[in-house]
Amino acid sequence: MKTYIVGNWKLNFTVGEASIYLHKLQKKIPNYRDVEVVVAPNALALQSLSLQIDRHKMKLSAQNAFHRDYGAYTGEISFAELRGLVDYCIIGHSERRYIFGEDDKMIQKKVAAAVRNRITPILCVGETESERAFGETADVIRDQIMGGLRDVSEEDLDKVIIAYEPVWAISSTKAAKLASPDDVAEVVKKIREILKDTYGEKATEKMPILFGGSVNPSNAGAYLTVPGVNGLLIGGASLILSEFTDIIEIAKRVRA
């Protein structure tokens, strides 16, 4: 399985800035066959970056989309419209869940719409600090996974990526803390158990699981060597070219 390094730029970079960043990134990294580099700019930049991107070196992801293909949905962008522009879409990021009120039902429809439109969903799951304190992590993760994947058929499971992002470890969360590799290992093991119990070993062994939460060049290697982790979803550090390229290099070294 490949190692995935996904940069979530969130609401940063104008279209021009995104284009300059992409240009520099493409110049800096070679084509690593076993490391899949993905960048997720804001929606406005997707069209122009899709023409600029060297798909041998990296891929584009959307940060969100709407599950209906077309119709009276003012302000939305559909997976159908993104088809051909992006290979991936982040779905159910905690900022979508907690700032924009997306629930598991909506996320379930988005995951299905992504798969239907041949866009790989990166389904984000993760507990809040209080859920963790109350010992609810496993239940929260189970609900988010089962909810998110409800409309995905077994043969389409290999078209889904899960990203474990504990909300309390995301750098934009107030008083964010670092997750230890042991914390990550425990939950990733749980995620694999949930998947196995529901879909069986064969159907789920190929599903990549990423970790995200304040990843930077000094902790990336430790997270990438956690058993069962197949890559990283990176927010803040992906905005700094030198940090993002360092993390890509680390992923390459860990693979070697």
What is the C-alpha separation between 126 and 166, in angstroms, rounded? 4
Q: Percent helix, strand and coil across the chain, each rounded to 5?
A: 45, 15, 35
Of residues 36, 67, 81, 93, which has the active-site annotation? Answer: 93
Instruction: List the one residue from 41, 121, 208, 213 that touches ligand PEP (CB under 6 A).
Output: 213
Q: Which stretch binds ligand PEP (CB under 6 A): 36-44, 60-68, 200-208, 231-239?
A: 231-239
Q: Are 4 and 39 a contacting pair, CB within 8 Å? A: no
Q: Kindly list the distances between the CA atom of residue 102 and the CA atoms of 42, 64, 107, 171, in Å, as whole numbers in the listed order.
A: 18, 11, 7, 20
Is 67 marked active-site? no
In the bound state with ligand PEP, the residue whose beta carbon lies nearer, of 32 and 223, is 223
HSE of 11, CA atoms in CB hemisphere, 13 A: 3
Residue 171 binding ligand PEP, by CB under 6 A? yes
Q: Are 92 and 64 in contact (CB under 8 A)?
A: no
Closest contact distance (angstroms) between CB of 252 and ligand PEP is: 20
**92 near ligand PEP, judged by CB under 6 A:** no
SS3 44: helix
The neighbouring-strand residues paired with 161 are: 122
Is residue 93 flagged as an active site residue? yes
State the Cα–Cα distance between residues 90 and 162, nearest whole angstrom.
10
Residue 235 contacts ligand PEP per CB under 6 A: yes
List, as one string, the DSSP characters of 121-154. EEEEE---HHHHHTT-HHHHHHHHHHHHHTT--G
By CB under 6 A, tell whether 219 contacts ligand PEP: no
Indicate whether 170 belongs to the interface with ligand PEP (CB under 6 A): yes
Q: Which stretch binds ligand PEP (CB under 6 A): 35-43, 77-85, 184-192, 234-242?
A: 234-242
Return all residues near 181 (Cβ < 8 A) that are at least 6 apart.
222, 223, 225, 226
Binding residue for ligand PEP, selected from 3, 8, 64, 230, defined by CB under 6 A:
8
Which residue is at the shortest CB distance from ligand PEP? 235
What is the nearest approach in angstroms of ligand PEP to the Cβ of residue 173?
8
State which of residues 233, 247, 248, 250 lies at the interface with ligand PEP (CB under 6 A).
233
Number of residues that bind ligand PEP (CB under 6 A): 14
38 binds ligand PEP, rule: CB under 6 A: no
Q: Does 215 bind ligand PEP (CB under 6 A)?
A: yes
Does position 81 interact with ligand PEP (CB under 6 A)? The reply is no
Torsional sign, CA 87, 80, 114, 16: positive
- Tell me the catalytic residues: 93, 165
Footprint of ligand PEP on this chain (CB under 6 A)? 8, 93, 165, 170-171, 212-215, 233-237
